[in-house]
Amino acid sequence: VIFLPESRMRNIEKVHTGNKSEVKRFVDLPYRLYRDCPQWVPPLYIDAYLPLNRKKHPFFEHSEADFFLAVRNGEVVSRICAANNKLFNEYHKTKKAHFYAFDSINDLDVTRALFEAVCEWSKERGLDTIIGPKGLSPFDGYGILVEGFEHRQMMTMMNYNYDYYPKLIEALGFEKEVDFVSCYLPADAFRIPERIERIAKHVVERGDLWVKKFTSKRELVNEWAPRIGYAYNKAFIENWEYYPFTEGDVKYAVDNVFMIADPRLIKLIMHKDEIVGFLFAFPDVSDALQRARGRLFPFGLIDILLEMRRTKTVSGNGMGILPQFQGKGGNALLYYEMGKTVLGFNRFTHVEMTQVAETTRQMRADLKNLNGVEYKNHRVYRKVIG
């Protein structure tokens, strides 16, 4: 425990992850902080507890992280995770610490004390820069929301926070590292132009590429999920957030991604028997997650399954083509299939493309061509500490 001399008694506590009551205090804060916030979508408790489980979360097989609480007058008022992703640093030849799971009341002194603990933790490990929010897995969602506070978050594929969060972070000297923008598109925007359709059909007729479709979740999860995970990782090798996945990272990612998957919304672009592109779209079950309030049972799971059938919103949370196939009709085929997928259900009224990094210039240009409206922005911050 690090005691801090303040008129309002507070201290920073490191969470002992083997202690259930300490872990519960860490997990419970956002549920209390956002209890009356209509834009917040609570994660399932089973998912919220997993990052603190060092035996089960694959991150701890190759890297390290610790969790901290700010406590004032016996009440938890802020929390944060400090992480050293060794694979990320080895690949990029950097010495960066990541912060994640930052939640806090609107108090700069409390926030400063919490980040001082992260700074000390990072320096002890020879790290010279703090970036974040960036989670322990690639599907944790990136950044702090800086635009679009009036909009509900898209399930738990992104983070939601109050508008004072970026003010607190920037007051501590953090600067922009990279932005992740989310776009709204009416379903009609996916009526693919005739030229794109012609190119896509020509590519298939030529035999260079073909589309793998799914009708059963069993086939998707049991036979294809690991291959899809590795292809996903490979497609984003030039991205800011990339690091080489381990087998555990891949399994964790695909298990989370496909939990609420409708197999008809998953498409793969194939070259012979190799996955060279993919489209991940998911029915938006945010309403059901809000009603569940973190609990799958007794009725949460049933409600989520029903919501998958009645929602009119779909989330595009993964779309990519390996770089070597981007100039060979792969992009055209991908967008053509996306249009057929969205419109083929004859149900969805709008689509959200979730968290597209500003560094993925081709994807951002494609979304503008489809008349995508940018309406949320999440910012990853950076601060040099040594």
pLDDT tens-digit map of 231-268: 878 877 777 888 888 888 888 877 777 777 888 888 89
pLDDT of residue 355: 85
> What's the confidence (pLDDT) of residue 86?
97
Q: Which residue has the higher pLDDT, 287 or 323?
A: 287
The mean pLDDT of 45-52, rounded to a whole number, is 94
Q: Which residue shows structure tokens 């205090």? A: 25
Amino acid 148: pLDDT: 96
Give the amino acid at 145: L
Paired tokens of 54: 């060092």
**Can you give the pLDDT at residue 362?**
65
Alpha carbons within 13 A on the beta-carbon side of 13: 19
Q: What is the pLDDT of residue 370?
A: 67
> Looking at the predicted structure, is the pLDDT value of residue 51 above 50?
yes
Is the pLDDT reported for residue 2 higher than 70? no
pLDDT digits (tens, 9 = 90+) for 345-363: 888 888 888 888 787 766 6
Helix or strand run (H / E) with residue 25: helix 20-33
**pLDDT of the residue at 238:** 75
Q: What is the pLDDT of residues 87-111, one digit of tens each?
A: 999 999 999 999 999 999 999 999 9
36, 91, 106, 167, 316 from 162: Cα distances, Å: 12, 34, 9, 10, 24
**Residue tagged 């500003």 (tokens):** 358
pTM: 0.89
Which helix (H) or strand (E) segment holds residue 165: the answer is: helix 165-171
pLDDT value at position 24?
A: 98
Q: Which of the two residues, 183 and 1, has the higher pLDDT score?
A: 183
Looking only at the bridges linking them, the beta strands covering 144-147 and 129-132 are unpaired
Tokens of 322: 């390996």
Q: Amino acid identity, residue 6?
A: E
Amino acid (1-letter code) at residue 294: G
Check whether the bond before 58 is cis (ω within 30° of 0): no
pLDDT tens readout for residues 294-339: 998 888 899 999 999 999 998 887 777 887 787 777 778 887 888 7
Residues 73 and 105: their CA atoms lie apart, in Å, by: 14
**Helix, strand, or coil here: 125?**
coil
Lowest mean pLDDT among 55-59, 185-189, 314-318, 339-343: 185-189
Report CA torsion sign: 375, 173, 17, 123: positive
Where does 93-183 have alpha helices with state H?
Answer: 108-124, 165-171
Q: Is the pLDDT of residue 165 over 80?
A: yes
